[in-house]
Amino acid sequence: MSDPITDLSHRLGRVRDALGEACDHAGRARDSVTLMAVSKTRPADAVRAAAAAGQRDFGENYLQEALEKISALRGEPLVWHFIGPIQSNKTRDIASHFDWVHSVDRLKIARRLSSQRPEDRPPLNICLQVNISGEASKSGVAPAEAAALAGEIARLPGLRLRGLMAIPEPDSATPGAPFAALRELQAEIARGLGASGELDTLSMGMSDDFPAAIAEGATIVRIGTAIFGPRE
């Protein structure tokens, strides 16, 4: 008999094993990569089951359902990451309830998040989303504009710029290429920022491509399907 909680903890165990193997293969310490469980569309009970199995970091794309889960799981020592598109009228709730935002690609949104971050909370951790594969339809700042935007964001008092995030198009011939490009862009931006930049985060890699992302330096992988099963 299969039971959903046992299935989830088995899948989580398999993902942790694969993540550890990818780190070993890349010659990296296993604790150099944080596993974010992407819980969008999943009920609070699924988050609770993953938390009971030791999962701490969760990623959400849709504000309303995220707020319900954050509230339902209050009291658990969880770290919440916002990873979806951001509309201006949502910034206050995002700044109030999340620990990280990975999908900042405009200065206007960054300014609002900074000014709306509650004063009794530490600065909001930010990753700049970069359109590393260059499709017109995707969100993310163009690579050529990322350094200027990073410079502006690094000065905002309510935010702490941590690094870059990307959702590259799958590239079957050279799966590591977009991840390497993001790593190189981050190194270039860090040099430009000098002492004001302590960029320690590369948010890249999902269920289908996280080993390649880890080989190229990912420090946070964002994994939904491989942990929770297929989305409806």
38 makes contact with ligand PLP (CB under 6 A): yes
Q: Is 41 in the site for ligand PLP (CB under 6 A)?
A: no
Stretch that binds ligand PLP, among 14-22, 63-71, 185-193, 223-231 (CB under 6 A): 223-231
Q: Between residues 163 and 224, which has the closer beta carbon with respect to ligand PLP?
A: 224
Contacts for 191 with CB less than 8 Å, ≥ 6 apart: none
Comparing CB distances to ligand PLP, the nearer of 124 and 206 is: 206
- Name residues contacting ligand PLP, limited to 124-183 (CB under 6 A): 167
Among 116, 133, 139, 207, binds ligand PLP (CB under 6 A): 207
Tell the smallest beta-carbon distance from residue 115 to ligand PLP (Å): 25
Sequence-separated (6 or more) residues with CB below 8 Å from residue 33: 19, 22, 23, 214, 218, 219, 220, 221
Asked if 69 touches ligand PLP (CB under 6 A), the answer is no
Among residues 18, 35, 44, 61, which is the contact residue for ligand PLP, using CB under 6 A? Answer: 61
Q: Which helix (DSSP H) or strand (DSSP E) does residue 71 occupy?
A: helix 63-72
Binding flag, residue 223, ligand PLP (CB under 6 A): yes
86 lies in the binding site for ligand PLP (CB under 6 A): no
d(CA 161, CA 190): 11
The interface region with ligand PLP, picked from 14-22, 92-100, 133-141, 224-232 by CB under 6 A, is 224-232
Are 206 and 222 spatial neighbours (Cβ–Cβ below 8 Å)?
Answer: yes
Q: Residue 167, Cβ neighbours under 10 Å: how many?
A: 21
Helix (H) or strand (E) holding 115: helix 107-116
Nearest to 175 by CA among 208, 212, 210, 138: 212
Cβ atoms 216, 1 nearer than 8 A: no
Q: Binding to ligand PLP by residue 222, rule CB under 6 A? A: yes
Tokens of 194: 């000098």
Stretch that binds ligand PLP, among 45-53, 86-94, 187-195, 205-213 (CB under 6 A): 205-213
Q: Which spans of this chain sit near ligand PLP (rule: CB under 6 A)?
A: 38, 40, 61, 83, 167, 206-208, 222-226
